[in-house]
Each structure stands twice: as structure tokens, then as C-alpha cells.
Structure 1
Amino acid sequence: MKNYKKMSVVVLYMLFILVGFVYGYNKGKDISDDNNNIAHEKNGIDVQKVEDEKVIKHEEKITPSTLLEYVYYYTKCNHTITEVKKPTGDIIGMNEEKFMRYITINCPQWELISFSSNKIVMSIKKHHLCPNHYIIGVENDKIAVYKIGKDGKKVLFKIVNHSVKLLNEIDQRKLKEGITVDSKEEMVEVLENFSS
């Protein structure tokens, strides 16, 4: 029993010594940090400015290897098209804040989704069909095929040497209104139906 009491007293003393050591070490570290700050202030060094500069050194910036991902969302067809490009020289070196100012001034319709040194993602909504669509219609009384330009306007793709006047009235009306198709294969299929 005596050994047990002696052992517990020794363990208790060692615990107090350990707690005292940890407390003293942390207190000494705080005093050391305060002394460093005081020394820097005496030498005219702004400690907060030094800390801010450390943060700035690790700030994300656009580099020549940064990928710019442009995401186009087309509301009329609910399609999304993504383009990936390299940055132009005028934006290399910009941080997120400067880049936000740049796009606000130069391309305000774009929304910044994410920003890092590796990849920047921006998106835009276009309120028309995407360029992957075709519209089959009429041009000079002939069946015509139009592609959709990036601005959403129809661009003549080709004229089929087939007169619209040879078609029945319902087909003529459909063509005058324009038949929108989602792919080149679908366009070919529709054209074959009008040719037969």
C-alpha cells in the first residue's frame, strides 16, 4: 500500500512538471513573438504588412499555362458547349480581383464560376439555339439548310436543288416556318423525306 501511495505521488509530481513545462513553453513562445514584433516595429517594419505580403506571395494568379474554360449555355435548346483556351498576354499575372475587374469592363455578360492558377471557369447564357443545330427552310423557292451562327442568327449552309413548289401545302408551310434539327444526320434524314 505504501508503494502505491509513493508511486501515485511521483506520478502526480511528474504530471505537474509536464503541465508546467508545456505552459512555460507556450508562454515563452508568445513572449518571443511579441519581442520579435516589438523589435520589427523599432526597426520600422510593419508586422501586419509583412504578414499580408506572405499571404500575397501564395495568391492565385493567371499564368501562361492556366486553362480558360468558357461554358456556353443555350436556353432555347438547353445545350451546353465548352471551349478551352490559353490566356492572352493582357491577363497573364492577374489575380482574381484584377481579373474580375477586367471581365466586368470588357465582357460583363460573362460570370466567373471558379478561379485558380490551374483553371478559370466562366459561363454565359445565350438566348438562342446552339451552333450544333440546323434549320431547314426556303431560299429562292428551293429547299435550303441553315446553320446557327455563334450570335444565334441563321447562316446559309447549302441550297438543295429541289423546288418547294413541288411539295404539298403542309410541307411548304413547315419549310417556310423552318424545321429545326439537332444533328447533321437528322438534317439528312429530313431532306431525304422531302426528296422522295
Structure 2
Amino acid sequence: MVQSMKDDGINAAVMDAEDLTFVDQFDAVFSNAALHWCKDHDKVIAGVKKALVPGGRFVCEQGGFGNIKVIREALHAALQGRGITDLEARDPWNFSDVESMSRLLVKYGFTINSIELIPRPTRLPTDVKDWVDLFGNTFLVGFDAETRAAVLEEVQAACASLWDEDHGCYFADYVRLRYEAKLEH
């Protein structure tokens, strides 16, 4: 995608959102389904502020507080049942609530035009095990194949409430945090 954008004459680069290097370069910053993968939202918002020109807009949608609650609780329980206590180190996500993200945006000089949590159950293309294996694999680091498979089975069983009989599939309990803010002059 970045190369395609460059081919179209758009300034695009790949970098860590917690270490943005742009200074006063953009009228707008847009992020979709990325910032919940960043542990330090303070550093992200500081970098977005630095990248925007005065009056610039920041529009974002990310996983919000309560996102994948059932899946996450099942993962935590499965690991705790095996004596794993470093859950924070293994958990790749940071799901902010409206209040904490609002405070952070205001701290960096943004005026919030809108901010809300939106429940959005999302159909999984496979089962919960495959979803966790792809997106939550940091929870499974260090397990042998047999233990890994057992954890995945346990998590899937604990997520039975996510099964939708009418559709014949699982729906993840996604919650999105969506906001638009303007950087003051």
C-alpha cells in the first residue's frame, strides 16, 4: 500500500507510530485499526501533534475499551491456569476508553469534535482459535505445539457465547473507539 501511494505521488512511509519523525508536515492524520497495537498512546499522540500543522485534523478508529473482552478474558484465564502471570507483557493491545483518550488529546492541544465507543460485533472468517493464533499469538510464545493447541481449544470453548447459530459463525465482540480532533493554532 505504501508503494502504491508513493507511485501516486503521495508522501508515505512505514514507521513505528510511537516514534513518528514528521514535523509540521500534514493537514490531517488518519489511522484505522492500528493504534490499539501501540502500548504508549501518549507517545503516539505527541507524535501526531508534532506531525500536524496548526489547525490540522486527527481522525482515528481503533479498538476501544471492552474490545474483544470475551476473547481476551479467555486468553488470560487459560494462561493463568498454566501459571503464567506476565499477562501484560504478553498482551499486545491497549484499548483506551473515551475519558483517557480525551484527556490525552486535550493534553496535546487538540479540540475534540467527536469521540465515542461503538460496539461492533464482527464476523470472524474462521473460528476463534484461528483468530487468536493470528492476532493474539504473543500470548502463546514459548508454548510447545501441544500446549499451544490446548490453550487455543480452551479459549475457543470459553468463547462459545460468540457463536451465532443463525449465521453459522463466530462474531468477535469488537468495540471501536472513534474520534476526530483538531489541533489548535
Shorter-chain TM-score above 0.5: no
**Larger RCO (CA within 8 A; separation ≥ 6):** 2
TM-score, normalised with respect to structure 2:
0.21
TM-score, normalised with respect to structure 1:
0.20
